[in-house]
Amino acid sequence: MTGALPFAVGDVVDLAEQHYCYGLGKLTLRIVELGRREQHSDGLWIHLRGVDLGDPRGPRQRRVLARIDAVRPAAVQRPAAHLPARPSWTCTGCGQAWPCPDRRRRLLERYAIERITLHVYLGTQLAEAASDLRQVPPALLYERFLGWLPDRRGFSEAAGGPTGG
């Protein structure tokens, strides 16, 4: 049960209801993890973890078992939003721990002249994540959400602008 798959982590795929377990209706999924494969009487299936992009409540984490030969590229590849998916706090765009490197870069650019606003925003996100990620030590959460921010002198430089006091 090995071989190359026609899809990979990061791909957005569509699955018809009859070709996956654990849900109803058509599923549009951005794949964040490929799991084990299983041989069944009707073909080879694979466990997938991803972000359901078609959920009316917004992007949500999903785990499904899908027929490999029925996984199709999505008709429209949506740009990666790089937003947190709760309760795991993984990135909806790339599946890494949020805030991922891409989101960090975008936040530094957006808040280049509003350092305090960025600190408040990330502090609020840290407080929200702490309630979902109780098993993660507080020091690690701090590093993940605030510890990567450059100090005052390097803030504009990290965002790609001139340094300034």
CB-based contact 31:8 (threshold 8 Å): yes
- Which DSSP symbol is given to 96? S
Q: How much is the mean pLDDT over the chain? A: 85
* Run of H or E including 150: none
Q: Which sign does the torsion angle of CA 80, 84, 87, 89 carry?
A: positive
Does the pTM of the predicted model rise above 0.85?
A: no
Quote the pLDDT of residue 144: 96
For the record, the structure tokens of 110 come out as 């957006």
pLDDT at residue number 164 = 44
110: amino acid identity, one letter? R
What is the distance between the alpha carbons of residues 152 and 157, in angstroms, rounded to a whole number? Answer: 10
Contact 128, 87 (CB under 8 A): no
